[in-house]
Structure 1
């Protein structure tokens, strides 16, 4: 049963780090450091049709035994090991084959032909086992109801999250903004508001959310597995107000609520296993230079047709869920359209670079602007249903769209975003 929301500082992390961790404390015993200030939860009045969007996590009921999940450290090293192993096996086989006489080669060919049924059976069994493993490790996301492939248990995800966090903290060492910094305090207020308003989501309550602000010019923000949000000071140069900041933070929080990072690692492992045999055969039967060119072309082909579209789909999904999180926290969700409209305009003015949509991990800025605009009516209805005050009749989208391209250029120069 939910009782309170507390701010804690994990003892296993460096005290010098500018970091605050938020967690929901229940009646279970949590080994956390208590402090005097408690933030009282406010009740969210949501209509039943809205609350039905969010359920409890379900697993695919196909398997009859406990899923065999891969240890996180093994998963991290498995992908390069598979790729390098396939390459080395292929080249070694090619060198070994070249040393054989025509008679020896014919002997091996005859032997393989005699065992053809067994070889086909082995590969058939392997593909069936891989398919079975995939199906028995499908989960139904509680928020989107989309099925996803996951090779990690929750405990394993926690281990991987800790390893990833420590790595990023080490990379940012000496550049982490202190808790007393105004930007840090501003971001904490927004993050708290988003977390408190979305306590009806199980994933929000279970995670130990944290915020780290990095003193860097990069216009970037991201979330690590486990709920560690990183924001660079450079990202704040692009936003006009707290509502746009909330859109960025809620988007990053949505990535973690949807477990996108773990899903990507899981899919990457299964894809590398499938590609191991083609890579080995490529290096076994083609000259090195030809094999290298074909492998590069093949990887580019898979990247363009599978990896990048999949990444863009996850980004769009995070946009949609992030809009819901921001709406329930009573932010002006119309600012989401304005923010991505600004990003589109900055690209058109060549202030910010944006790769072609086909080669990008993120959707086109204009597409995000359009999709969020289409999702706004539902988001505003949700916002009204949870008891938020009505939005100002002065729609920020109208102000944005009334500006000409020249007006935008002058505006960006005044803000220091574009060069004079």
Structure 2
């Protein structure tokens, strides 16, 4: 048995040697070249199998050229060495070649666009795609013959349970997405939906701040102006007195005072503060301005911009489905346009504006806390909104219902702030602030308004009596002079009218 096994091995060796000798006769000398006792073995993975490489190493004597091939070993060795050296020099030159210093450079990092900016760009495209899809479905359905419509209804009915399961699975995935993106408000502790993080808004806020700076570059007040210094001092005081809030310390606050008549002030998520001089003229004292700045800074601290964009994104996704159904069901484009308009108004009045009013009320609450810790007289906050109500009446601005506005009405704000005043006063007392004057600015404002109204009423009665006397005397009366009403863009000086309610113009500090 063993003799037969060894005889088979010998036969296999003879076959392999004969094969290699035939390959050598065919001129395949480039695969393996022999130089005496030295061998250059090619890599098995590129040229030959491991078994062939093993035979080259151990049986090199069988690989020598025979027969009609008349090549001397020395010339073969010299030719092999020359080709090998040339190949190695070329390979090393390609690998170790160092490019010139002028060709070496690094490209800038490619930054992805912020998610809110992408959403703002895709938002109108979503509605356009929904309109095209719904209109295409309606045209397709109207072009179907009656028998195919009936077949499609039967097909839908037979697969109603599969469709129900698919819809339930989609709702489950959406609910899971909402649950995994719930967040807690940093100051109030309210649970909210946050699809976009506040960090995603920083780049967008930076570009927005640059755009505003470019827009107001000719109206910006110099930092050396007393008005700019006053606003910057109040912002620093608010930041210093509320440094225990992590979000307050994480933001670098930058003040920009714009020379403009609008009664407005706003803060971007990255801490860029823009205050118009119209707001500085509208406030009656420094405490009201502290509350206004605290209110605007509260928006940035809580991250209301990210929260509002998240809810708007969800509402838009749901409205896209409704918009597609409207354009698919309505028989004509005119009715679809009407349904589209109604759907947009319902989204505004049922979701967008109520949520905006909710965020404004929360900013009022947090702004009161920030102002209280800064040792401001928080009672002046309600006086400011009462002044704004009188300003609207004097300027002739129409009074619109609250459900049509993105902000609470002045009266509702006054009532809400009055409820928050006791708690804010307690917080102020715990912060080791100096005592407030016993005279409540709300009472002073109320008495000042009453005196003003009584004076106007007495003046009207005197003019009426004078008119009646002249009529009895038969004197030709001139046309009655209508009291002048400030124009729409004019700025009534509430601080001058309500001078008796003005408090000291310095912020009380510890």
Structure having the larger proportion of residues in helix: 2
Question: Which of 380, 385, 391 is 2:430 aligned to?
Answer: 385
Tell me whether 1:279 sits opposite 2:290 in the alignment: no
Tell me whether 1:130 sits opposite 2:130 in the alignment: no
Question: Which of 237, 261, 267 is 2:311 aligned to?
Answer: 267
Displaced runs of 4+ in structure 1, greater than 6 A?
408-413
Aligned partner of residue 199 in structure 2, secondary structure: helix
What are the within-5 Å matches in structure 2 for residues 320-399 of structure 1?
320-399=365-444
Residues 132-173 of structure 1, C-alpha deviation per residue, up to 9 Å, x if partnerless? 111110111121110111112343232222233233333334
Report the Cα distance in structure 2 between the residues aligned to 1:160 and 1:257, rounded to whole angstroms.
Answer: 16
* Alpha carbons 2:181, 2:195 under 8 Å: kept: yes
Question: Which of 405, 410, 417 is 2:493 aligned to?
Answer: 417
What are the within-5 Å matches in structure 2 for residues 247-266 of structure 1?
247-266=291-310
Tell me whether 1:100 sits opposite 2:144 in the alignment: yes
Could you tell me which residue of structure 2 aligns to residue 298 of structure 1?
Answer: 343
Question: Which of 189, 195, 220 is 2:264 aligned to?
Answer: 220
Report the Cα distance in structure 2 between the residues aligned to 1:409 and 1:97, rounded to whole angstroms.
Answer: 72
TM-score, normalised to structure 2's length?
0.64
* Alpha carbons 2:116, 2:309 under 8 Å: kept: no
* Deviation for aligned residue 1:203: 0.5
Q: Rate the CA distance shift 1:112–1:410 in 2: closer, same or farther, 3 A.
A: farther
Report the Cα distance in structure 2 between the residues aligned to 1:285 and 1:213, rounded to whole angstroms.
Answer: 53
Could you tell me which residue of structure 2 aligns to residue 42 of structure 1?
Answer: none
Could you tell me which residue of structure 2 aligns to residue 181 of structure 1?
Answer: 225
Report the Cα distance in structure 2 between the residues aligned to 1:376 and 1:356, rounded to whole angstroms.
Answer: 26
Residues 72-121 of structure 1, C-alpha deviation per residue, up to 9 Å, x if partnerless? 33222243232222122112222333333334444444443344333333
Tell me whether 1:309 sits opposite 2:354 in the alignment: yes
How many residues are aligned here? 350
Tell me whether 1:242 sits opposite 2:286 in the alignment: yes
* Alpha carbons 1:164, 1:225 under 8 Å: kept: no
Aligned partner of residue 254 in structure 2, secondary structure: strand
Structure 1: tracts of 5 or more residues without a match = 1-69
RMSD of Structure 2 on Structure 1 (CA) = 2.6
Aligned partner of residue 142 in structure 1, secondary structure: coil
Structure 2: tracts of 5 or more residues without a match = 1-113, 457-484, 498-510
Aligned partner of residue 404 in structure 1, secondary structure: helix
Aligned partner of residue 257 in structure 2, secondary structure: strand
Could you tell me which residue of structure 2 aligns to residue 319 of structure 1?
Answer: 364
Q: Rate the CA distance shift 1:407–1:263 in 2: closer, same or farther, 3 A.
A: same
Q: Which moved more, 1:104-113 or 1:184-193?
A: 104-113
Report the Cα distance in structure 2 between the residues aligned to 1:410 and 1:184, rounded to whole angstroms.
Answer: 37
* Deviation for aligned residue 1:263: 0.3
Report the Cα distance in structure 1 between the residues aligned to 2:364 and 2:305, rounded to whole angstroms.
Answer: 15
Report the Cα distance in structure 2 between the residues aligned to 1:352 and 1:198, rounded to whole angstroms.
Answer: 37
What are the within-5 Å matches in structure 2 for residues 194-205 of structure 1?
194-205=238-249
Residues 153-202 of structure 1, C-alpha deviation per residue, up to 9 Å, x if partnerless? 34323222223323333333433222222221111011111110000000
Report the Cα distance in structure 2 between the residues aligned to 1:122 and 1:226, rounded to whole angstroms.
Answer: 43
Of structures 1 and 2, the one scoring higher in RCO (CA 8 A, sep 6+) is: 1
> Larger Rg: 1 or 2?
2
Q: Rate the CA distance shift 1:178–1:352 in 2: closer, same or farther, 3 A.
A: farther
Residues 212-251 of structure 1, C-alpha deviation per residue, up to 9 Å, x if partnerless? 2222221111122222221122222211121111111000
Q: Rate the CA distance shift 1:153–1:362 in 2: closer, same or farther, 3 A.
A: closer
Q: Rate the CA distance shift 1:85–1:378 in 2: closer, same or farther, 3 A.
A: same
* Deviation for aligned residue 1:328: 0.3
